[in-house]
Structure 1
Amino acid sequence: MAENNTPDPLNSHFNKLVQDTLNQWHVPGIAIAVVDGDNTWTKVPNHPPGYGIATFPSTPVTPTTLFYAGSTTKAFTAAIMAQLVEDNTTYPQVQWDTPISQLIRDDFVLADAHATAQTTIEDALSHRTGLPRHDQAYGNNLPRDTAVRSIVRSLRHLPLTASPRTTYQYSNLMFVVAAHVIETLTGEWLGGLLTRSIWTPLAMASTFFDLSSAQQSNADLARGYAYSPDTDTYNEIEWMSLAEISGAGSVITNVADYAKWARALLNQTGPLSPAAHRAIWTPRTLMPAEAPFTGPRAYALGWNTGVYRGVEFFEHTGGMNAFGAELILFPKLRYGVVALANTAGTSNYVEKALVFHLIDEKLGVPVGERFDWNRKYLTERGFLLVRNASYVEEERKKVQDAIDYRPPSPVLPHRLQPVEYTGTYVHPGYQTVEVYLDEATRVLRADRARTTWPEYLSFQHVNGEHFLAIAEHIGDLGAIFPEVYAAEFQISEKGKPCALGVAWEKAMKDEKIWFTRVDS
């Protein structure tokens, strides 16, 4: 809604752009809110298609439709931590430079003793701990009362790839660590603390921290979808549990509520104090430069920050299974945009294109000078094809090149019959890989359905005991193109497989995560 006579940016021209972009990227629906000074606009569709579909066949998206907000959650986790840092009466031991191991000594152990002792709260919340993503290590269908602590305790088994405070490496796991610190010190579930400390004061009554609460509300929760270009169909993705995600990405919300959060941040008002506002937006870690932004970017505490067209912004993208989110704020302009949508990967492409269209309109950027976000992300096979290689096109080519790779002749056969490689392989940080033989195709497979980000592997022989693990995903970007990891079996002196190595973590370069066979 508009609070004065300022023109509505979500006009008929923009409505057409939204629908065209949704169609182009095969995203069922999107919700958008704009905060501009004292005005707030949200799209209320008067008739189909409006801003598309929340749930097929015909439930429309509205400003009150709930979506998973993904990593935009990190800003809330940082905000709660800022409140603890500020409360020197109750939590004098909690400062930004406090080593985490001093707060959760038994649980927080990294693979390196120096890193364990040196890693601070600030390091964890600004992605500079030396721990890379390790996203495939996540979870094992853990319940809420044990998930966060179990995941934090598993970090000791995950290789570091840098020394603390030397480089930016995005890590969801470190925001789970932050959640564990908060819950341990306060004795309160982070979702309850957020509700009491931030969401209730801001009247964000439709913002939740777990799936069951969102389902029990009266609000409509959008379904997430993965588009299949081969069949031109949308596959509904099961709503994912959030117990293992916690402070890294557990928020479910709508754009009407998020507009309230955006306004409080833009105006630097409560429930956060001025000191907390300053803390979460202070740049901490340099990030690589990236078009169309000028100069270096940085990560603050739960926020990306940089300069666009000469104006400072604070932003975060979110992605969950079959959902995407975008929140960007320009404090000096008192301007912000929120977007939530319901597909795997492509939601974020749509959001970037539409959000920056609104920003360019606000800044008066001539059409011919605007950055082409669609061209950056466009791909073939079901999407619009462009001549210049795009991000997704390049990623797809990398995958195909890996799959098509043939080693120099002669190619060595694998030493054993395929069935002999089957069995249970275990890693203390990456859980379990159950390798089995698909009788129909005679291909070795492993279904990692219990991990937080499920993936389904098939092993393609390369040379000797070396394979490619081709990973199909359900609900995330891997639903568009698979990921490919180098894999290798080790054979013991008894002539039996004793270990499986998979190069799951890209930051480890050519190193593999090694699983020990336990059923031989």
Structure 2
Amino acid sequence: MTRRKPLKMVNEDDPFDDEFEKMVKDTLELWHVPGVSVAVVDGDITWSKGYGIATFPSTLVSPSTLYFAGSTTKAFTAAIMSFLVDDNEKYPHLQWDTPIATLIRDDFVLENEYATQHTTIEDSLSHRTGLPGHDFSLGGPNATVQTVVRNLRHLPITAEPRTKYMYCNAMFIVASHVIETVTGRKLGDLMHEWIWKPLGMDATFFDLESAKNAKEHLATAYRWLYDNRERGFQAVDWMTLDEASGAGAVITNVLDYAKWARAILRKETPLSEKGFEAVFTPRTLIPIEEPFTGPRSYGLGWRMGVYRGQRFYEHSGGMKGFGAELIIFPDVDFAFVALANTAGTANFVDLKLGFSLVDEKLKVPLKERFDWNERRVSQRIISEGRQKAKNAVQILYPHLPSRPLPLSLPLSSYAGTYRHPAYQTLTIYVSSPDTSSNPASTFNASEEQRKSILKADRTQTTWIQMLTFEHVSGEFFVARAKGEADFAALFDDVYPVEFRNGVDGKVKEVGVGWEESMGNEKIWFRRVEK
């Protein structure tokens, strides 16, 4: 691997030199990302630049280009909550340790009584409630923040409260609902009035329509098609953001995020000193991961850790067709922000570019630098995902009989509409098979199965999935899910599926293993009788 020369990073010298530009170009090509906007805050100076394509065929990226910022939204939600905690005159009943159920009693109910009564504001903002992501339950027809919160009572909790870091977008939607219920105002309006306007962040938005109507260009979301038959970039629809709310609804550009980063570096945010300290106080331990040299933790809307002996604050964001990264090193007065427009791999680009600039700032010797591109390759994120998809049957069902059992009913008997109170509707239908990507999948199939397969289109949920069911043995299947967001855009997700028949010989339920933290347990949908 050819090593590039160190970047110049001395005060007035522009960090985005020719060597850096070459690195950007190579990294965009490696990870199939059309474009990226970057900004560096170094002391009193802010540098910013755009690289590549914002919208094909010819709209170039600039520092003002708008992107979905995903989960970097969470920091603003925690900040707004800090204002309410500070205001003991208007909101004396709301503190970090206030049980959520006392604030939105009718809406906030969890799987068991203890968790319902003891889960606090602080817990919801630090991913320690014991509730896993359950991301595929989010959204649906006419979804609102309130409906997301009300659905939590139907979702399994998989850890004791405050014992484990379990990233959960839904809990930030809960926080959004608390804020809007207590104040009687929209969360986005509060962010604009209390944070963005004071900091001059005029190109930051909380809804898609405002961003589409802004003077700045909103980048197109893309996915890269890896299929040998059809390679290249494919535009995907912008996500609606209503139910994402405080978990991921922000759209912004690097110029505005640089203002946010500088305010944090100088402790000149609208937050009080007490509120600022609260959001950056570690609450939940996160497993140590190379190249970080100390323990990592989650505060309130921020990850924290140590890199090369320097503490940092950080958060990434991923939406359908977008990736975001914000890294802040308070003790050396340095921050980096990157926003890019491809599903799954945009964050790879963000991390590679960001930590290359951090290494320059910290004067890390070239031979000691961690290669984020190589890291992603060595971890085999993509290849391991594809291997899991390819070998899904052996991985998900390691103890199959030597001769798989046939289905107990005709394949068409398993088609129908199934309902779960939180995961909503799963409509399974019979379709012609597509064995081009895995011709061996029909080797042991019956004649009927060679002619037809089961599918389900989950197009009404926030994270869209197109499911294909591959028969394994008896009433057991593997579901292969294609999507347009995160790693689902790079390889199929795979889940174990089981059907249950009633004593009348008809299919009554179907279970899908969407949540790994549930082990062998599944999300069970009951059949809706016609």
SS in 1 for 2:295: strand
Give 2:489's match in structure 1, choosing from 476, 479, 485: 479
Give 1:211's match in structure 2, choosing from 198, 208, 222: 208
SS in 2 for 1:295: coil
Contact in 1 for aligned 2:393/2:472 (Cα 8 Å) = no
Contact in 2 for aligned 1:142/1:244 (Cα 8 Å) = no
Aligned length: 499
Question: Which position in structure 2 is the counterpart of 1:383?
Answer: none
Q: How far apart are residue 60 of structure 1 and its match?
A: 0.4
Q: Distance in 2 between matches of 1:185 and 1:201?
A: 23
SS in 2 for 1:90: coil
Q: Distance in 2 between matches of 1:235 and 1:43?
A: 25
Matched, 1:392 2:398: no
Q: Distance in 2 between matches of 1:63 and 1:185?
A: 37
Question: Which position in structure 1 is the counterpart of 2:438?
Answer: none
Give 1:198's match in structure 2, choosing from 173, 192, 195: 195
Question: Which position in structure 1 is the counterpart of 2:428?
Answer: 435
Q: Which runs of 5+ in 2 are unaligned?
A: 1-9, 434-450
Contact in 2 for aligned 1:34/1:335 (Cα 8 Å) = yes
Q: How far apart are residue 438 of structure 1 and its match?
A: 0.6
Q: Distance in 1 between matches of 2:325 and 2:89?
A: 36
Contact in 1 for aligned 2:11/2:45 (Cα 8 Å) = no
Question: Which position in structure 1 is the counterpart of 2:446?
Answer: none
List per-residue Cα deviations over 1:211-241 (Å, max 9, x = no partner): 0110111110000100012222101010010
Question: Which position in structure 2 is the counterpart of 1:371?
Answer: 370
List per-residue Cα deviations over 1:95-115 (Å, max 9, x = no partner): 000000000001000001000
Contact in 1 for aligned 2:407/2:474 (Cα 8 Å) = yes
SS in 1 for 2:391: helix
Q: How far apart are residue 121 of structure 1 and its match?
A: 0.3
Question: Which position in structure 1 is the counterpart of 2:360?
Answer: 361
Q: Distance in 1 between matches of 2:379 and 2:273?
A: 45
Question: Which position in structure 2 is the counterpart of 1:382?
Answer: none
Runs of 4+ with >4 A deviation: 403-406
User: Which residue type is aligned with residue 19 of structure 2?
Assistant: H
Question: Which position in structure 2 is the counterpart of 1:318?
Answer: 317
Percent of matched pairs sharing the same residue: 56
Question: Which position in structure 1 is the counterpart of 2:13?
Answer: 7
TM (norm. structure 2) is 0.92
Q: Distance in 2 between matches of 1:439 and 1:290?
A: 44
Question: Which position in structure 2 is the counterpart of 1:229?
Answer: 226
List per-residue Cα deviations over 1:285-306 (Å, max 9, x = no partner): 0110100001211000000000
Are the structure 2 counterparts of residues 444 and 494 from structure 1 closer, same or farther at C-alpha, using a change threshold of 3 Å?
same
Question: Which position in structure 2 is the counterpart of 1:118?
Answer: 118
Q: How far apart are residue 376 of structure 1 and its match?
A: 1.9
Q: How far apart are residue 390 of structure 1 and its match?
A: 2.1
User: Which residue type is aligned with residue 6 of structure 1?
Assistant: E
List per-residue Cα deviations over 1:234-284 (Å, max 9, x = no partner): 010100100111000000000000000011111111311111111110000
Contact in 2 for aligned 1:65/1:254 (Cα 8 Å) = yes
Q: How far apart are residue 395 of structure 1 and its match?
A: 2.3
**CA-atom RMSD, angstroms?**
1.3
Q: How far apart are residue 208 of structure 1 and its match?
A: 0.3
Q: Distance in 2 between matches of 1:29 and 1:422?
A: 43
User: Which residue type is aligned with residue 217 of structure 1?
Assistant: A
Contact in 2 for aligned 1:226/1:476 (Cα 8 Å) = no
Q: How far apart are residue 392 of structure 1 and its match?
A: 2.1
Contact in 2 for aligned 1:376/1:391 (Cα 8 Å) = no
Q: Which runs of 5+ in 1 are unaligned?
A: 45-50, 379-387
User: Which residue type is aligned with residue 420 of structure 1?
Assistant: S
Question: Which position in structure 1 is the counterpart of 2:52?
Answer: 52
Matched, 1:410 2:403: yes
Matched, 1:271 2:264: no
Question: Which position in structure 2 is the counterpart of 1:470?
Answer: 480
SS in 1 for 2:234: strand
Give 1:25's match in structure 2, choosing from 28, 31, 35: 31
Q: How far apart are residue 5 of structure 1 and its match?
A: 5.8
Q: Distance in 1 between matches of 2:379 and 2:81?
A: 42
Are the structure 2 counterparts of residues 221 and 415 from structure 1 closer, same or farther at C-alpha, using a change threshold of 3 Å?
same
Contact in 1 for aligned 2:211/2:251 (Cα 8 Å) = yes
Q: Distance in 2 between matches of 1:169 and 1:389?
A: 21
User: Which residue type is aligned with residue 301 of structure 2?
Assistant: G
Q: How far apart are residue 389 of structure 1 and its match?
A: 5.5
Contact in 1 for aligned 2:345/2:486 (Cα 8 Å) = no
Q: Distance in 1 between matches of 2:168 and 2:261?
A: 24
User: Which residue type is aligned with residue 359 of structure 2?
Assistant: D
Q: Distance in 2 between matches of 1:319 and 1:295?
A: 25
Q: Distance in 2 between matches of 1:128 and 1:253?
A: 28
Q: Distance in 1 between matches of 2:368 and 2:11?
A: 29
Matched, 1:502 2:518: no
Question: Which position in structure 1 is the counterpart of 2:286?
Answer: 287
Question: Which position in structure 2 is the counterpart of 1:173?
Answer: 170
SS in 2 for 1:294: coil
Deviation larger for 290-299 or 439-448 = 439-448
Q: Distance in 1 between matches of 2:250 and 2:17?
A: 29
Contact in 2 for aligned 1:138/1:451 (Cα 8 Å) = yes
